[in-house]
Structure 1
Amino acid sequence: MAALDKAQRQLLMGELPGLKRFCLSLTAEPADADDLLQVTVERLLQRGMPDDAHVAKWAYRVCKNLWIDELRWREVRQRHSAAEEDGGGTPQDAATGEGSLQLDRVSQAMAALPEDQRAALVLVAVEGYSYAEVAEILEIPIGTVMSRIARGRKSLAEKVEWSPGS
């Protein structure tokens, strides 16, 4: 793999807003999302990508793999420090600010989804990728993408209690 050429760098820069949303969908924490985005971009700039790679798909895949590595590292660290410390739970997201109640409910429901469903939903519903593209990015069968999307949408609908006019 070669360093990113000028065209790949420009495409990567254009992909940053979507990649940041994807990071947030994986982490559910803004600070973790910022860190993941930074590590992803650093990795892409340092190691590059194949000349024939689709920049967005490659960036999302690298991001997903880095998050998986981070989760594994956290699990190992927690296991080793559990004997010395009393557990430190993750802070719960609180609805903040002046946003609408509905938006707060949707945000909380999204954060409560399992990571795999949340990532698939964000890539399809927010980023506009096709199921086939999401399957390629997440390196899973398209049927699994469809299943995750369906379960995620159903769970969101139940948690948010969709009703006409709300």
Structure 2
Amino acid sequence: MRYAQGGGLTAERREFRERIRYEAGERFARGEKSSVIARDLRVSERSVERWRRAWREGGMDALATAGPPKLSKLSDDQFAELEKELALGPAEHGWEDQRWTLARIRVLIAFRFRIDCSMAAVWRLLHRHGWSWQSPARRAMERDEGAVGLWKKDVWPQAE
């Protein structure tokens, strides 16, 4: 199943689904049929049967949420530190241009926090905290306004 932000369910949504499973558990105890429970709770019968099997084996505790599918390797405090490091820019960390790439952020995480993670994990971490792959809105530090103005005046009209 795909989720809008790519990071799985929010805590609120996990709690909502857990309440639905608990309600189903109470109805299992009363002996109600799976088809009726599925219809009333607006879920599939297959899900209700899966929950019933878990309920039989482990009771109501088996219907509890398991939490997020994968926890981040960086704590919230560490991520705040990482954001400060990213704000300094790549040049401050030894790269020549002003572009952060997943590979560079991975190296920064390994150097700064001694945590080895894949580029996919770096992507998930950034995405979970609201970062995206788009270019920043601010201008590059290397930008030469004079050269840009000359280009717009001389080269651009010839290209049209």
Per the shorter chain, which TM-score range?
Answer: under 0.3
Structure with greater Cα Rg: 2
**Bigger relative CO (Cα 8 Å, ≥ 6 apart):** 1
TM-score after normalising by structure 1: 0.20
TM-score after normalising by structure 2: 0.21
Name the structure where helix makes up a greater proportion of residues. 1
